[in-house]
A and B are shown apart, each in its own frame.
Chain A
Amino acid sequence: MNIQFTLNGKLRTAEVEANTKLADLLRELGCASVKIGCNEGACGSCAVNVDGRLINSCLTYAGQVNGRTVETVEAIGSLDHPHPIQDALVEEGAIQCGYCMPGVILAAKALFDKNPSPTEEELAVALDGQLCRCTGYQKIESALRKLASEARS
């Protein structure tokens, strides 16, 4: 079947099988930031934003995003102009192997877009679906806490 959706600001069309998962489609379309880790919604490495909500693309059928807007980390910042979330993570040294980072950045962006100065509890809840296999949670949380604190001041 043919689907049409907005991917990182550009209208895309794709021919997919009914059983095709969004994670597979996005990787075929060149979004290598979408990682397939557990493939059952537990690790968050495949997380993308659909209509501004963070979802697990490994559990989502490609057909479900027909007509919707999908954002991956490819659309967030650039090497020359990183997004403030990316800046904060780099400054804090929060990135180790980097596998979880696309999901972490998108989870943080979904939260900060709605609430620029979240509390520690709100940050923890928003990031509770993102596993870091290097276990670098403290620096990730510290970076995002600083960003939230800067927004408050």
Chain B
Amino acid sequence: MKLTAYHRAKSLADARRLLKELGPTAMPLAGASSHSFVKNDDEKIGVDIADIGFEGVECKNGHFVVGANTRIADLQAFHAPGWVLDRVALRFVSQPLRNMTTIGGNISRVFPWNDFPVALLALNATMTISGEAKTSHLASVFFDGQPSRLFQPGDLLTEISVPEIGEGSGFGYHKESLVNMDFSHLTIAAWIRREGRTIRDARVAVGAGVPLPCRLSALEAELVGKKMRRGGHRRRRGSASGRCFLERGSRIQQ
């Protein structure tokens, strides 16, 4: 990709105006850290959105509202009860790239190895796109294809709402790669809610080994109603993963 012109937007309205006026060759630049992976000769006009706001994390009514321009390093540094994205951030590439990359950039254009789409699917997050009006999309819809299909010219992702991990719930994220900096071979995130020792609700998502991240609905259904036992996940791991196979079209069947 070759940048032929560069503009820095001063506000959301300014960014939306520039993106609309410049047309399909215009491209928002958040951290711009993924540009080196796009090995083609496409000419693009960069619209830098670093100064338009939408940074930081706020707690609101049982949710964390994350500005799309929040750097991964700031997700890593943020700590609050029920907040788990710091664990995902810590596995993200390297400190310089955590300082550059924004969560909005990481999820607006999904490469197979991206860390956050998988976590946000398991957490049932909601993404807000600001256009003529604001539209919100659950992660299961947002990532059911490249998110670009949901954007009209000039639209930008502005917020991600992540439910707090409440009492009786838990979250885990695993990334399989040689080192953090390497491309992932597999990423998996799981969220469960239990009552006593019984699993009442579960969401499991995988990425990297598939073209687009996706939920494992059959595995989720299998987990619900099961009793939790110490070490039980290790016993189940073989049988569940053994029955997963990839189908063309990015879906995983159990």
- The answer to whether A41 and B33 touch across the interface, beta carbons within 8 angstroms, is yes
Query: Of all chain A residues, which has the CB nearest B35?
Result: A59
Contact present for B5 and A41 (CB under 8 Å) = no
Q: Does B240 contact A (CB under 8 A)?
A: no
> Which residues A91-143 have CB closer than 8 A to chain B?
107, 125-129
Q: How far is the CA of A1 from the CA of B5 in the complex (A)?
A: 9
Interface 9-residue window, one of B54-62, B89-97, B118-126, B131-139: B89-97
Task: Choose among B4, B5, B46, B99 the residue that contacts A54 (Cβ–Cβ < 8 A).
Answer: B99
How many residue pairs link A and B with beta carbons under 8 A? The number is 77
Contacts of B36 in A (CB 8 A): 39-41, 58-59
Cross-chain contact A55 with B96 (CB below 8 angstroms): yes
A63 to B44, CA, bound (A): 14
Q: Within 8 Å CB of A107, what residues of B? A: 95-96
With an 8 A cutoff between CB atoms, is A53 at the interface?
A: yes
Contacts of B3 in A (CB 8 A): 18-19, 61
Complex CA–CA separation, A63 to B71 (angstroms):
19
Q: Are B29 and A61 in contact (CB-based, < 8 A)?
A: yes
Q: Evaluate contact between A61 and B4: CB separation under 8 angstroms.
A: no
Once the chains bind, are B95 and A64 in contact (CB under 8 Å)?
A: no
A42 touches B6 (CB 8 A): no
- Minimum CB–CB distance from A45 to chain B (whole Å) comes to 11
The contact of B73 among A18, A44, A53, by CB within 8 Å, is A53
CB distance from B174 to the nearest CB of A (A): 18
Q: How far is the CA of A42 from the CA of B180 in the complex (A)?
A: 11
Q: Does A36 contact B (CB under 8 A)?
A: no
How far, in angstroms, from A60 to B45 measured CA to CA in the complex? 15
**In the bound complex, do residue A128 and residue B95 qualify as a contact, i.e. CB atoms below 8 Å apart?**
yes
B29 touches A55 (CB 8 A): no
In the complex, what distance in Å separates the CA atom of A129 from the CA atom of B181? Answer: 8
> Does A18 lie within 8 Å of B5, measured CB to CB?
yes
Q: Does residue A147 face the partner (Cβ distance < 8 Å to B)?
A: no
For the A-B complex with A18-B5, A127-B95 known, give 20 more contacts whose Cβ atoms are closer than 8 Å.
A18-B3, A18-B6, A18-B45, A19-B2, A19-B3, A19-B4, A40-B36, A41-B33, A41-B93, A44-B94, A54-B96, A55-B99, A58-B36, A59-B36, A60-B32, A61-B3, A63-B46, A66-B8, A128-B94, A129-B94
